[in-house]
Amino acid sequence: MRAVLQRVTEASVSVDGAVVGRCGPGLMILVCAMAGDGPDKARALADKILKLRIFRDEAGKTNRSLMDVGGEVLAISQFTLAADTSRGNRPGFSNAAPPDEGRALYALFADHIAAQGVTVGRGQFGAEMQVALVNDGPMTIWLDV
C-alpha cells in the first residue's frame, strides 16, 4: 500500500460538481493498493498513519499524532500513485492492484481508520474527482508499507 498524506486545515472532494467527501483539520490521504497487497497491508498503513507524529504540540514541535489532536481524514483512492515512469514518457500502472482488489483494500483502509473513532470522508473509487485542500505547513509525506 502506498499513500501521500497532506496535513490540512480542510479538504473536500467532488464528483460532477457535488461534494462527496470532506474533512476539517487533519489529513487528506491519497491511497493506492499495489499489486500483491492484502488486508494486512491496508491495516498496517492505516495504523502507521494514525500514529505518525506530524501535528504540532503546544511548543510548536511535530510531536502529536492524528489521534492525539482528534483530527479528521479525507481518504481518496488514487491508483496513479503506482505509476512506473522508468521507461519512456508515458507512465504505466501495472503495479497497481486490479480494480476490484483496489476497491476492497481502499474500503478496508478507510474503515479501519474510522473504527478507531476518526471521522473519515471518502472519495468515490474510480471516479474523476476534483480535490480542494488547504495544506497546513505545508506538510506532505509519502508512505509505503
**Active centre residues (catalytic):** 78-80
Residue 27 near residue 5 (C-beta atoms within 8 A):
yes
Task: Say whether 87 sits in a helix, a strand or coil.
Answer: coil
Task: Say whether 34 sits in a helix, a strand or coil.
Answer: strand
22: nearest Cα among 122, 138, 124? 122
* Contacts for 97-100: CB closer than 8 Å, 24+ residues apart: 97/32, 97/33, 97/34, 97/35, 97/36, 97/37, 98/35, 99/126
Other beta carbons within 10 Å of 15 = 14
Instruction: Give counts: helices (H), strands (E), the chain.
Output: 3, 8
